[in-house]
Amino acid sequence: MKKLTVALLVLLMTAGFVFANGSQETKAAAPAASTAKTIKVGLLCIGDENDQGYSYNFIQGQKEATKKLAAEGINAEWVIKYNIGENTTCTDANRELAEEGCKVIFNNSYGFEPFMLEVAGNYKNINFVSCTNCASRTDKLENTYNAFANIYEGRYVAGVAAGMKLNQMIKDGKIKPEQAVIGYVGAYSFAEVISGFSSYYLGAKSVCPSVTMKVSFVGSWSDATAEANAAKALVDQGCVMISQHSDNTTPATAAQAAGVFHTGYNADMSGVAPAASIISTRIDWSVYFYEFIKGTLEGKKLDQDWCKGMGAGAVVMTKLNTAIAAPGTEEKMKETIADLASGKIHVFDTSKFTVNNGQKLTHAFALDTNGDFKADSEEAVFDGYFHESYFQSAPYFTEKIDGITWLNQAY
Amino acid sequence: MSALVALIVAAVTFGTVLMFGTIGEILTEKSGNLNLGVEGIMYMGGAFGLAGAFYYEKMVGAGASNGTVAILIAMFAAFLAGGIASLIYGFLTITLRANQNVTGLALTIFGTGVGQFTGEFMRVKEGGYVALSNNLKNAFSRAVFPKFFQDIPVLGKILFVHNVFFYLAIILAVVMHLYFQKTKSGMYLRAVGESPSTADSAGINITLYKYLSTIIGGGISAIGGMVYITTTAGCVWNHEGLSGVGWLAVALVIFCMWKPLNAIWGSILFGALMIMYLRVKIAFIPTEIYKILPYIVTVVILVLSSIRNNKEKQPPASLGINYFREER
């Protein structure tokens, strides 16, 4: 019996050596065969394609970027890890990707940054990117980067579409002007969400002056039941247009079930709510991925804090649901986009909104330099408008505009 | 007043899901089987129920899909999925006498995986959202009573605006209550749950009762998952919305003290507490504490009911214990 056991163990070890050698061989072969135009890229996602929202959007961007790079002869090999939590599994995942030889590692969620930073210092020749966050300016590391897009532009244009629909409802007598209330399902009470719903509100207000907004925070980027309940609660409190900063489609279907309208985020939701969802806005990450990966391969100096807007194609609107959109919406949106691009109008134009019950906004700091979550440097209000995403890519607009009511808060 | 009415109506939507889960689990537990796999069963019910309605619609075309037929197919598919999952559980615990807790937990993991896999498989095959047409969405969530009933002030708005599943759940709860209390077969089932050895010596077929109640109970819970997907999640496959619902149902069974009629108001109460933070503003309570409210109330009620130590409020005596005839 003992001889048999020993014989089996020896066999197992021999087999192990054989196969270990095998994989090493293939690894040795790869560098020889590859040209200088192959680059290994890592991507950490907080969810996966199943969410049909945030991470799905990143994966769409990744696929699109791979195509664009391949067209130029660059072969991007992706190693993607899904369902990483905003905790130490993120640190481990970053380390694993670094050890696997990735030259670029994208962290897709806001909450990944602190964990990414724990690893970035140990791999100085790998570029670590934290999307939607902002620490690269102050973290004293050369190899960390941040990126976002001027999503407030997309929100503004979606707001214009919503406002056009509200105008149509007022004209048809379905609602009175003061009943034009928008309900917004928010995630957390951070600047990113506040900036989003404020720009949406301003877009709607630019065409429908009597509009007001109610915001309900659910305390999570993705909680299907809570989002459905929040949307229903908003409708019960008189909202006739629902929008969201959260990942699930339940606000859209809840809006449709309640007979009101909706605009979405991250993905086109008119497929699930064709009678309610007018349009959605999303960030096209392929623009950034393409630039960054190409730049890394070519050894260029890369923008530590990248932010581009609709003009560069980083923010896109999904297809307008013409079956339910108000007539003239497509033209009005085109006009708005052109005006934003030319600088004729600005989203956070301080003459178009008031704060603190009727006061004009004359001063707001943009950046938080000491980590206490209160902005304390860089004046953002000048030239007649609040400069969002100007000093850093992550949004920093936190003012409470008159006309927007917060029903609760969530951190 | 209208805010209170709106609160109750909204609470019923999620409460119906819990009702099905709880009632099914009560049936299972009355026979002495502690099926902790309700979470997995509800996932499977949600995925297969939606698949049933979705493929039915693909087969006949979006224009020709009949709401009633779709509901029946979805219920049947969900029941079948839940029944098969519970059959596995039943075989392992009744015939092979494996530990019930472990088997139930394994079933949770298995069912969640199968449900999510099925949902994702459909999504990838469709290349987009797995959703039903507007026609069917309305069929699942519209009110069944005619407008006349709904217009009755106050009571009409509370009682008659709900979708068909709420009324089905109530009927199910009442039927189950009558079954347990008034029929001979129900009494045998309760005997099996209290003391299988006594029931066995009286000539009752223990195995048959345990198997049937586990399978039917599992099927009913699975219908709860299907109701979630078609009402709260808006007839669109959502891969994480059901997480935690099955566990709530298991807790609610204890909350209701194994009485199906209690499940009706218990589920609605729980649903109301879950959404209260969105509708009733209390200035000095932070939102986070407000959201814990349903769980605090559950714990308080559990503590109060255990203090009384009343014989009628006890679980079935052989709950969680496998029956070994040889030991009799």
Three-state secondary structure string covering B247-310:
HHHHHHHHHCCCCHHHHHHHHHHHHHHHHHHHHCCCCCCCHHHHHHHHHHHHHHHHHHHHHHCC
How many Å apart are CA B22 and CA B261, to the nearest integer? 11
Closest CA to A121 of A106, A136, A100: A136
How many Å apart are CA B46 and CA A32, to the nearest integer? 51
HSE, CB side, 13 Å, CA atoms: give it for residue A12. 6
Complex-level ipTM = 0.85
Average pLDDT over residues B74-80: 96
Q: Which of A225, A275, A409 sits opposite B287 (nearest CB)?
A: A409
Question: Residue A356 corresponds to which tokens in the numbers above?
Answer: 């603190």
Q: Which of A51, A52, A229 sits opposite B10 (nearest CB)?
A: A229
Over residues A218-255, the pLDDT tens digits come to 888 888 889 999 999 999 999 999 999 988 889 999 99
pLDDT of amino acid A19: 66
Over residues B300-311, the pLDDT tens digits come to 877 877 777 777
Q: What is the pTM of this model?
A: 0.85
pLDDT of amino acid B218: 96
* A chain contacts of residue B239, beta-carbon cutoff 8 Å: 50-51
B290 has a pLDDT exceeding 80: no
Over residues B201-249, the pLDDT tens digits come to 999 999 999 999 999 999 999 999 999 999 988 888 888 888 888 988 9
Share of chain B above pLDDT 70, in %: 99
User: Amino acid identity, residue A225?
Assistant: T
* A chain contacts of residue B241, beta-carbon cutoff 8 Å: 224-225, 248, 250
Q: Which residues contact A325 (CB under 8 A, 6 or more apart)?
A: A161, A164, A165, A278, A279
Chain A interface residues (partner B, CB cutoff 8 A): 50-52, 216-217, 219, 222, 224-225, 228-230, 232-233, 236-237, 248-250, 252-254, 256-257, 271-275, 407-410
pLDDT of amino acid A201: 94
How many Å apart are CA A304 and CA A299, to the nearest integer? 14
Length of chain A: 411
Q: Which residues contact A152 (CB under 8 A, 6 or more apart)?
A: A195, A196, A198, A199, A347, A348, A388, A389, A395, A397
The DSSP code for A349 is B
Buried b (16+ CB within 10 A) or exposed e, A265-297: bbbbbbbbbbbbbbbbbbbbbbbbbbbbbbebb
Q: Across chain B, what does the average pLDDT equal?
A: 89
How many Å apart are CA A267 and CA A249, to the nearest integer? 9
Residue A28's pLDDT band (boundaries 50, 70, 90)?
very low
pLDDT of amino acid A369: 77
Q: What is the chain B residue with the closest CA to A219?
A: B288
* B chain contacts of residue A274, beta-carbon cutoff 8 Å: 134
Question: Residue A257 corresponds to which tokens in the numbers above?
Answer: 């079930």
Residue A29's pLDDT band (boundaries 50, 70, 90)?
very low
A357 has a pLDDT exceeding 70: yes
pLDDT of amino acid A235: 93
* B chain contacts of residue A50, beta-carbon cutoff 8 Å: 116, 119-120, 123, 239-240
Share of chain A above pLDDT 70, in %: 95
Question: Residue B160 corresponds to which tokens in the numbers above?
Answer: 């008659």
How many Å apart are CA B328 and CA B325, to the nearest integer? 5
Structure-derived torsion over alpha carbons of residues B168, B170, B175, B180, reported in degrees to the nearest 10 = 140
A137 has a pLDDT exceeding 60: yes
Structure-derived torsion over alpha carbons of residues A114, A119, A124, A129, reported in degrees to the nearest 10 = -50
Over residues B160-193, the pLDDT tens digits come to 888 899 999 999 999 999 999 999 999 999 999 9
How many Å apart are CA A79 and CA A57, to the nearest integer? 17
